[in-house]
Amino acid sequence: MRRFIPLIALLALAQDSDISPSRIRADVKYLSSDLLEGRGVGQRGGDLATQYIADQFAKAGAKPAGDSGTYFQKVPLVGIDPQPQTQLGASAKGKSADFRWGDDFVGVDLSQQPEQRFEAPAVFVGHGIAAPEFHWDDYKGVDVTGKVLIVFTNEPPSNDPGFFDGRGLTYYGRWTYKYEEGLRRGARAVIIVHTDDTAGYSWAVVRSSWGRETPYVKLAQGEHALAFAGWISREAGERLFALAGTTVDQMLAAANRPDFKPVDLGAHIRARTISKIRSLDTHNVAAVVPGSDPKLKDEAVIFSAHWDHFGVGEPVNGDKIYNGALDNATGCGVLLELARAWAAMPQKPKRSALFLAVTAEEGGLKGSEYYAKHPIFPLAKTAIDLNYDEVFPWGRAKQIVIGGAERTTALPLAEAMAKRLNLAIEPDAHPEQGHYFRSDHFSFAHAGIPAFSIGVGREFAGKPAGYGDKLADEFDEKHYHQPSDEFQESWDFTALQQAAQYGFLLARDIANQEKLPGWRPGAQFHR
């Protein structure tokens, strides 16, 4: 009898929800079709995608949760395209260094002005980290108001799991944190000195990422922002530090010591930023299935996935439509099917469920960032966000991926659910790469809401060892963020059904439990 238990368990779970791989397949095929022109933000294809998602929510019976009784939450974005005429230089004691756009530096004026000039003294603040829980402070009480901060990305190296999570990257090591902390302390600008080792990628990656238009949430009236958030190459960093009589290696060695103190470089940074600015008309799509408990229905679990990709862009081999089938029509397909299954439950869970398709993930998680600042359900009443982004459609998965669940008190329940579904949990093979900070769940975590993404691993039933690794590596090398990320008729959507089933059951249990989930002791994003 023991050999039949997994089948019996699966049949019992099937009665809990009706999740159809064929419906997910149809949604993914349509959303990644040429008709939708790559679902570009502010483009016709993006409008078609959001209307389709709203229509499917309505057909499922999920109620509109957006602005003014609609399914749409307007997200005011501006596209900032830094121009190569932007200038950056430094001077000290009669000596100067001028840097070349693209070769030596890149960056953006976050104050969203078409043109701006400034000059300010430069202060080196190591890794730019203030982490009291690790007894680390790169600022040491120095007032940096109005100054240009020079920093390295990443964090002090350590193999001690109790110190900046050892091999794992904390948010303190992310370049986004450096800019946020500099702004909090009143800096005029923050410039990161790039090295391959501290960044984990080449200067070519920085140059291509920062040398094109990027969307940003429109600043509110009176809201402050950095006049320049940028990077300089290692070679440019050597020239800058030479003005202060030191080198990149010497400064990095100093930054890695706990007794580091800020260094006045005795130099002034001068800049002239030139940008093309345009408004972007875009939306998150939001639907809700109210909970059954009169009190707890004011609290919610959230399912999220980003609907956007790169739209119509630079042709590659004659193809200019960046379809985004795997990234992230798959996540949207799962999201829509979850809404159908949740709305179809005869007895709804106690808490409500919000289904959120967010915009501008490819531009830096901007749609989810906006939602976290303008939530439909108050943050303190949001139980958890379960996000879907790039789910592999290659057969029956043997593993579930829930990187970040270990940060939350939902972990025991998440582990039990994986066991219930006969799925192993795939560990993060590269914690030093900070994958947790790169998808939309992070916007919720950053605001204090327990959150993580659900995906499937690289092992598939009935497939030879290395099958999933080969397909995933091929996708990363040839199709990721390329027009060739297209729907394949050969895809098997069983794994997406499994990922949806896992999230459905996990969220249902959380929606019915007595207390909201939280963060485990020591987690960086405690409420």
Preceding omega of 328 cis (within 30 degrees of 0): yes
Closest-CA residue to 345 (of 111, 78, 18):
18
Residue 399 burial (C-beta neighbours within 10 Å; 0-12, 13-18, 19+): buried
Residue whose pair of structure tokens reads 């093979």 in the numeric block? 429
User: Where do the domains of the chain lie, and which CATH numbers do they carry?
Assistant: 20-79+278-512 (3.40.630.10), 80-277 (3.50.30)
pTM higher than 0.75: yes
Closest-CA residue to 17 (of 335, 342, 333):
342
Single-letter residue type at 26: A
Tell me how far apart the alpha carbons of residues 218 and 367 are, in angstroms, rounded to a whole number: 12
Instruction: Please name every residue paired with 271 in a beta bridge, in sequence order, or none if there are none.
Output: 88, 118
Three-class SS state of 108 = strand
**Residue 16: what pLDDT?**
55
**Residue 67: what pLDDT?**
97
Enter the tokens of residue 114. Answer: 């078409």
**Residue 173: what pLDDT?**
94
Closest-CA residue to 282 (of 443, 73, 81):
73
Q: What is the pLDDT along the chain (527 residues), one digit of tens a residue?
A: 334 444 444 444 444 568 999 999 999 999 999 999 999 999 999 999 999 999 999 999 999 999 999 999 999 999 999 999 999 999 998 999 999 999 999 999 999 999 999 999 999 999 999 999 999 999 999 999 999 999 999 999 988 888 888 888 899 999 999 999 999 999 999 999 999 999 989 999 999 889 889 999 999 999 999 999 999 999 999 999 999 999 999 999 999 999 999 999 999 999 999 999 999 999 999 999 999 999 999 999 999 999 999 999 889 999 999 999 999 999 999 999 999 999 999 999 999 999 999 999 999 999 999 999 999 999 999 999 999 999 999 999 999 999 999 999 999 999 999 999 999 999 887 777 888 999 999 999 999 999 999 999 999 999 999 999 999 999 999 999 999 999 999 999 999 999 999 999 999 999 999 999 999 988 888 75
Residue 96 burial (C-beta neighbours within 10 Å; 0-12, 13-18, 19+): middle
Q: In sequence order, which residues have a C-beta less than 8 Å from that of residue 363 and are 6 or more positions away?
A: 41, 77, 214, 215, 216, 308
Could you give the dihedral angle defined by the CA atoms of residues 176, 178, 183 and 188, in that order, rounded to the nearest 10 degrees? -110
